Structure 1
Amino acid sequence: MQYGPYPKAIYPNEAIKSVCYIKNIVTRPNIIIGDYTYYDDINGAEKFEEHVTHHYEFIGDKLIIGKFCAIAKGIEFIMNGANHRMHSVTTYPFNIMGNGWEKATPTLEDLPLKGDTVIGNDVWIGQNVTIMPGIHIGDGAIIAANSVVTKDIPAYHIAGGNPCKTLKKRFDDDLIEHLLTIKWWDWPAKKIFDNLDVLCSGDLKKITEIKPVHE
């Protein structure tokens, strides 16, 4: 029996070609995507990598996105390669213009590198969101449309705006702790299938009755 879409498919539903499992189309080794995470874009969901800009292997930063994330069209992940040196007289990147100006090539130590960009599991990102370098967004977070994310967002919080600000928690602390403990996104496909009614229920007490695997 099949317990949901094939995780290695490009299009989980062949009738909806605007939704793509992006783990199965990325080619850059410095982009790491979890199973079932999708990008939704009628103009070409399979072109997701075009929305990860200024991403150069020599810098070494990674874009890491967890499982079961929903990413709407217009996303832009700005990576560390967009940064210019800020402690010199000018921020102008002479070196990339060549023709002798490459003598002004900065070292990595000259640049304000922010590290990897990390998106947790079960994160929903609305349309036309921009995420700046080095941002960490926790599991279960929601990012409102048209936001510019410049600071980390905690797990199971709703955030929005430009600059993006945390607006409120989705659940109380006890339920958030429980969800971060059971990590439903790591369950086998059959267990997820068997508990779809619980995962999609507005009765939040049901999920608290599911114990962590180690108990």
Structure 2
Amino acid sequence: MNKNEFKHWSEIKYLKDIVTNPLIEVGDYSYYSGYYDNYSFEDGCVRYLWGDEKSRSLFNPIEEFGWQIDRLIIGNYVCIAGGVVILMGGNNNHHSEWITVYPFVDQIKHSFEPKGDTIIESDAWIGMNAMIMPGVTIGEGAIVAAGSVITKDVAPYTIVGGNPAKEVKKRFSEEEIAKLKEIRWFDWKRESIEAATHLLSSSSIDELYEYYLREIKD
């Protein structure tokens, strides 16, 4: 079976098992749930990012044009639902300040401008059919509501929704968020995480913080 093929809606694919593009960096246990779209992660969810096998065989804009291609960086334990679109560099060739936005072939090498890396930090959840525009950072523990369009950075542990997406609320208090940013549970060794799943799957940040001080922090 094709490693990108989904057999059922309940199936997920760990990104480390399916990503081949050298411009996509993925962390541990981050997954894509793409059954309803029938697209692979690199050929449907991620769009217009040079570096997949086919685009590498056609041309090399880094060597030929000297372009600096934006990267997609995904942390650990990120959840990406079906229908999500991560829009990368392809639209950077359309210039609103030029007379025409049409990308004439003989001007392509002059028209590209990098937007900056797109970053989805650890433990973020990207809801179904959300679109992430180029160059934004989605902070750790953030939640992007289904159908949202992300046009600017999302703060850690914040829920956003809408088009363009706006803050709905913080998931926790500022004091609790500070503790979570210190803990960074998603960077722990897997055995330490497995020993603390009962705490991670609760609302008791204080108990998790005590575990961190007792078992993790040097």
**Structure-1-length-normalised TM-score:** 0.83
Contact 1:67–1:120 (8 Å) recurs in 2: yes
Q: Out of 30, 37, 40, which is 1:37 matched to? A: 30
Question: Using the alignment, how far apart are the partners of 1:205 and 1:156 within structure 2?
Answer: 16
Q: Which amino acid aligns with 1:171?
A: F
Q: Indicate whether 1:55 and 2:58 are aligned.
A: no
Query: Root-mean-square deviation (CA), in Å?
Result: 2.2
Aligned position for 1:5: none
Question: Using the alignment, how far apart are the partners of 1:120 and 1:106 within structure 2?
Answer: 31
Residues 46 and 18 of structure 1: CA distance in aligned 2, closer, same or farther (over 3 Å): farther
| Deviation sequence 1:118-145 (CA, Å, 0-9, x none) | 0000001110010000010000000000
Question: Using the alignment, how far apart are the partners of 1:129 and 1:16 within structure 2?
Answer: 18
Q: Indicate whether 1:90 and 2:100 are aligned.
A: yes
Higher helix share: 2
Aligned position for 1:72: 81
Aligned position for 2:18: 25
Question: Using the alignment, how far apart are the partners of 2:10 and 2:23 within structure 1?
Answer: 25
Matched residues, number: 195
Question: Using the alignment, how far apart are the partners of 1:16 and 1:125 within structure 2?
Answer: 16
| Deviation sequence 1:39-91 (CA, Å, 0-9, x none) | 11224778111121111253411000000011100011111221212322111
Percent identical residues: 40
Residues 21 and 123 of structure 1: CA distance in aligned 2, closer, same or farther (over 3 Å): same
**Structure-2-length-normalised TM-score:** 0.82
Structure 2 segments unaligned to the other structure (5+ residues): 52-60, 62-66
